Amino acid sequence: MKFDLEVGLTGEMVAEVQPEHTARSLGSGGVDVLATPMLVALMEGAAKDTVQPGLPEGWTTVGTRVDICHLAATPVGMKVSAKATLSEVDGRRLVFTVEAHDDHEKIGEGSHERFIVSTERFENKARSKAGK
C-alpha cells in the first residue's frame, strides 16, 4: 500500500487549558497547570491530523513512542498550540518533531512516532484480546 505522505508536512492543534486538563485533575501532579499527559495528547493530535488526509479510507495512525520535554507551566485559561512536523517516513513508521507554545513561551518539545495501520484490522486485533 502506498501512502501520500512527504517529509515536511506540518499540522497544529490548539486548545485552551481547562480545569480538567490540569495536573491536579488528572492526578499527574498537585498543581493547577496544564498536565504533561494533556501536552502529549495535543502533540499526538497534531501529528495525527497532519497525516490523516494523506491516508486512504480505512487507514489511520496510532502513537507508538513519545519523547518530550515539558519546559514550562501553563495556567488554566491560556491557549496552547502544539505543532507537529513529519520528519521521517520509513514505510508505515512515521516520525514527527513536535513542539508547543502558550501565549508567552515555548512549553514543550521533542519527538513522536506513529505507525500507519488498517483501522479495521487494528480494532479487530484489540477486541480479540478481550475475547470479543
For 14, the domain range is 10-129
104 is annotated as an active-site residue: no
Candidate list 22, 50, 61, 70, residue with the active-site label: 70
* Residue 1 covered by a domain: no
pLDDT at 47: 98
74 catalytic per annotation:
no
Does the annotation count 44 as an active-site position? yes
* pLDDT tens-digit profile, the chain (132 residues): 778 899 999 999 999 999 999 999 999 999 999 999 999 999 999 999 999 999 999 999 999 999 999 999 999 999 999 999 999 999 999 999 999 999 999 999 999 999 999 999 999 999 999 886
Asked, for residue 3, whether it belongs to a domain, the answer is: no
The pLDDT value recorded for residue 131 is 81
User: Can you tell me the distance from the alpha carbon of 50 to that of 123, in angstroms, rounded to the nearest whole number?
Assistant: 22
Give the CB-side neighbour count of residue 69, counting CA atoms within 13 A. Answer: 5
> Which domain CATH number covers 21?
3.10.129.10
The one catalytic residue in 44, 61, 74, 101 is 44
CB-count burial class (<10 Å; 0-12, 13-18, 19+) for 40:
buried
| Domains in the chain, number | 1
